[in-house]
Chains A and B, each alone.
Chain A
């Protein structure tokens, strides 16, 4: 039978000897490639440096010069029982993001404490992060026991103190082990210098660990973030495949499923894999594809769940515990890209509830989150996001935040927040209350122009004749001596939006600007006509909100795929322009825009 693999991360304060512990483990388990030990010894001799086990890992020149681990090194070793991957995470505070990277990839955390120096700031900070990253298996090694003469009471004091600290974080370590990485005590065999210690030596403890069971994840409700919808028609393949990695749970052919937040439902028709036997069920951990019984149009980023199981939360505002690694602080009001599951969209920080001081887990009052801070914060997304609360389903309650192209923060969602008004609604309310007008009010303007102001937006897939219809509408209204203004969407890219990069992240900003522009044009009394490509009904909702109290009419061209937004009219692709404009004019008359 194949041996299982277990990922272990080593963390702890700088210079507490993590790399030495790992180097020793590799050497004493006979896991080094032949000649590697000698190669490093020779290199030390050439540079007139005493040999250290840590040098085995510090394979990069940078590190040897600085004497600290700057990145995450992976090393492999095996015992009779299983394969281990040891991830050596840096202890230095500047390298927090590297430590997080290492710890997030592991199932077990080994926290290294120097017996002589005792618990330091990062020993605590790392404990906090280990807890937030969701690692439940923790082993604490009290290293450098040789420097305290292998004294039992020294070990006991460290254990008592650190255990009390971890308890506050709901962490209950599996074991505390006194070791000396330098001397190789209690590493791969029981130490005869510490016969007072009755527990397992380090390797013994590793082998005694019980690995997380995939079955536990499979028992949870089915959650599959949608990574992509593939159709490779050019090679004669007409399968439409919904691809993703199943995070938790399982689903089988025939199960009724729903995409969220779009709420589009269907049934699983097939489970797709390449060069593999058919699976009985799409189970947690598998990266696979599904085909569905009905035509469903959804964007990547939606979460697929089973209809008959506990539903996740759909909300825009949420409370979370986060850690911040960004060069710039996390500030109120600015938009950050949230990545949760396969979804990416902008969020704004609403409130810093508290900042945790990692050195003593007290709270500090601040209105921004600085680099290396751990904080409790409330965010609001520009559209509803779908999640489970951390603790219920960890996999779908975790997110990262991107600032200026970099992953700058990570967090777990602890609470859904319901609000009367979203940030956008508050903005519109404030705008309308404070709006300054000249002598001409909208009634006077309507009287002069012979019609009320309004906005008409055409939407639908590319190439269905939206722009032609919009332009035709402008012409016919103009011929009726009304005041229409048709704006081609590309004109925005030429001007108002020229500072925005053409990326999905900016979609909501484009919509916001279009909404404000439409608000201005209608405030000037016009019939504003434009064409817009939207991702979903939430985009139309946002446009309507920002557009404000003057009406917004949405004309959908082609199949109506909006589940969250009631469009005013749906017309056929390339439908006769005269017929389309006649229908719209009827609608405008019904709304008393003109008679």
Chain B
């Protein structure tokens, strides 16, 4: 077994553990490369099926190509696709692009808050109807108690402290100083009523591993990651007002891999194009409040 086989086996094991122990399980799919690999791993774990819903938080500032790709894959892979959003904040223009709040508050409004209420089921959820080919109000309002998320330890400091099965309280708060032990493939799969768990099957993966795996498995990935002939591409996908592109002529997965290994990105952090991280304490503050 090579290192990708080992990473894959561990992630599959984690997904099966989660499936076994959580009746109300959901996987967050941001459409980015990491959570798309996560989705692929779920298909690995369950032999081509994905036996839980996928949740996307629509900020209304995602690039349109992302939404199109999401719905195309949902139809093709017969996914149980659900999305949620913070309709009120968008309506009241409480967003950074509207110029009314700073970047951190915007992330909090459109992502963290939207996620919290969508997970708990007290804000509307919309489910993809495979017969009609569009989204319908979801009648299931049960809270999701197990949330599978594609964060990686190498992304930034606070994520390097994460557990594979990480408990959150009712307010989504993360107690960084008191986390459960994990040993010998045994994780925290018991939880008191009112709490829920974040499950992180990709914690040990690096950005390079992700691309190597995409190449090996031939996973269809959104083309925003590739240069379309203008000499720029996205390295990390987010909302368009806060995600800058990088100068790169990588047109396919193989070129991205060689760029990451030896090229100009070998020593530049992946999230360096994410403006919200730059504000002091930004990402950690957000993550404690429920940001992924």
Chain A interface residues toward B at CB < 8 A: 2-5, 30, 32-36, 59-62, 70-76, 83, 85, 97-98, 100-101, 104-105, 133, 214, 227-228, 230, 232, 235, 237, 239, 241, 243-245, 272-275, 283, 285-287, 289, 300, 325, 337, 339, 395, 398-400, 402, 405-407, 410, 501, 505
From residue A246, how far is it (CB to closest CB) to chain B in Å? 9
A76 touches B51 (CB 8 A): no
B184-202, CB < 8 A from A: 184-188, 190-193
B158 touches A133 (CB 8 A): no
Q: Does B117 contact A (CB under 8 A)?
A: no
Q: Which one of A3, A76, A325, A406 contacts B188 once the chains associate, using CB atoms below 8 Å? A: A406
Shortest Cβ distance from B49 into A: residue: A232
Residues of B within 8 A of A34 (CB): 267-269
Given known A274-B48, A275-B217, A285-B5, contact A227–B158 (CB-CB < 8 A): no
B181 touches A243 (CB 8 A): no
Shortest Cβ distance from A46 into B: residue: B280
Q: Which one of A133, A214, A230 contacts B46 once the chains associate, using CB atoms below 8 Å? A: A230
A286 touches B268 (CB 8 A): no
**Complexed CA–CA distance, A7 and B267 (Å):** 21
A76 touches B154 (CB 8 A): yes
A402 touches B190 (CB 8 A): yes
Q: A36-B269, A104-B184 are in contact. List 14 more A-B contacts (CB 8 A).
A: A34-B268, A70-B176, A70-B177, A75-B160, A105-B182, A274-B46, A285-B6, A287-B8, A289-B47, A398-B184, A407-B181, A407-B183, A407-B188, A410-B183
Q: Does B281 contact A (CB under 8 A)?
A: yes
**Subset of 10 A-B contacts with CB under 8 Å:** A32-B267, A73-B157, A101-B183, A275-B44, A285-B1, A287-B10, A287-B12, A400-B184, A400-B186, A405-B188
Residue interface mask B57-85, A partner, CB < 8 A = 1: 00000000000000000000010000000
From residue A25, how far is it (CB to closest CB) to chain B in Å? 15
From residue A415, how far is it (CB to closest CB) to chain B in Å? 19
Residues of A within 8 A of B1 (CB): 214, 283, 285-286
Residues of A within 8 A of B190 (CB): 337, 402, 405-406, 505
**Complexed CA–CA distance, A45 and B278 (Å):** 17
B183 touches A100 (CB 8 A): yes
A237 touches B49 (CB 8 A): yes
Shortest Cβ distance from A58 into B: residue: B157
Given known A59-B158, A241-B47, A402-B190, contact A98–B3 (CB-CB < 8 A): no
From residue B13, how far is it (CB to closest CB) to chain A in Å? 5
Give the segment of B14-22, B27-35, B99-107 that binds chain A: B14-22
B179 touches A98 (CB 8 A): yes
A245 touches B186 (CB 8 A): no
Shortest Cβ distance from A71 into B: residue: B161
Shortest Cβ distance from B191 into A: residue: A405
Residue interface mask B38-58, A partner, CB < 8 A = 1: 000001111111010000000
The 10 A-B residue pairs whose C-beta atoms are closest, nearest first, are A59-B157, A104-B183, A97-B181, A287-B12, A33-B269, A287-B9, A405-B190, A232-B49, A400-B186, A34-B267
B9 touches A407 (CB 8 A): no
Residues of B within 8 A of A70 (CB): 176-177
Residues of A within 8 A of B204 (CB): 74, 85
B161 touches A60 (CB 8 A): yes
Residues of A within 8 A of B186 (CB): 339, 399-400, 407, 410
Q: Does B129 contact A (CB under 8 A)?
A: no
Residues of B within 8 A of A289 (CB): 47
B151-172, CB < 8 A from A: 153-154, 156-158, 160-161, 163
Residues of B within 8 A of A3 (CB): 3
Q: Does B284 contact A (CB under 8 A)?
A: yes
Q: Does B88 contact A (CB under 8 A)?
A: no
**Complexed CA–CA distance, A406 and B16 (Å):** 20
**Complexed CA–CA distance, A319 and B92 (Å):** 64
**Complexed CA–CA distance, A70 and B158 (Å):** 12
From residue B42, how far is it (CB to closest CB) to chain A in Å? 10
Q: Which one of B9, B45, B153 contacts A74 once the chains associate, using CB atoms below 8 Å? A: B153
From residue B178, how far is it (CB to closest CB) to chain A in Å? 9
Shortest Cβ distance from B278 into A: residue: A39
**Complexed CA–CA distance, A283 and B187 (Å):** 23
Shortest Cβ distance from B153 into A: residue: A74
From residue B40, how far is it (CB to closest CB) to chain A in Å? 8
From residue B6, how far is it (CB to closest CB) to chain A in Å? 7
From residue A77, how far is it (CB to closest CB) to chain B in Å? 11
A33 touches B281 (CB 8 A): no
Q: Which one of A76, A325, A407, A501 contacts B206 once the chains associate, using CB atoms below 8 Å? A: A76
Residues of A within 8 A of B140 (CB): none
B3 touches A285 (CB 8 A): no
Shortest Cβ distance from B47 into A: residue: A274
Q: Does B180 contact A (CB under 8 A)?
A: yes
From residue B3, how far is it (CB to closest CB) to chain A in Å? 5
Q: Which one of B48, B179, B206 contacts A71 once the chains associate, using CB atoms below 8 Å? A: B179
**Complexed CA–CA distance, A283 and B5 (Å):** 12
Q: Which one of B16, B177, B183, B187 contacts A287 once the chains associate, using CB atoms below 8 Å? A: B16
**Complexed CA–CA distance, A323 and B12 (Å):** 29
Shortest Cβ distance from A341 into B: residue: B185
B3 touches A83 (CB 8 A): yes
Q: Does B139 contact A (CB under 8 A)?
A: no
**Complexed CA–CA distance, A405 and B167 (Å):** 11
A230 touches B47 (CB 8 A): yes
Most buried by B among A60, A73, A83, A239: A60
From residue B214, how far is it (CB to closest CB) to chain A in Å? 12
B177 touches A71 (CB 8 A): yes
**Complexed CA–CA distance, A25 and B2 (Å):** 26
From residue A28, how far is it (CB to closest CB) to chain B in Å? 14
Residue interface mask B239-276, A partner, CB < 8 A = 1: 00000000000000000000000000001110010000
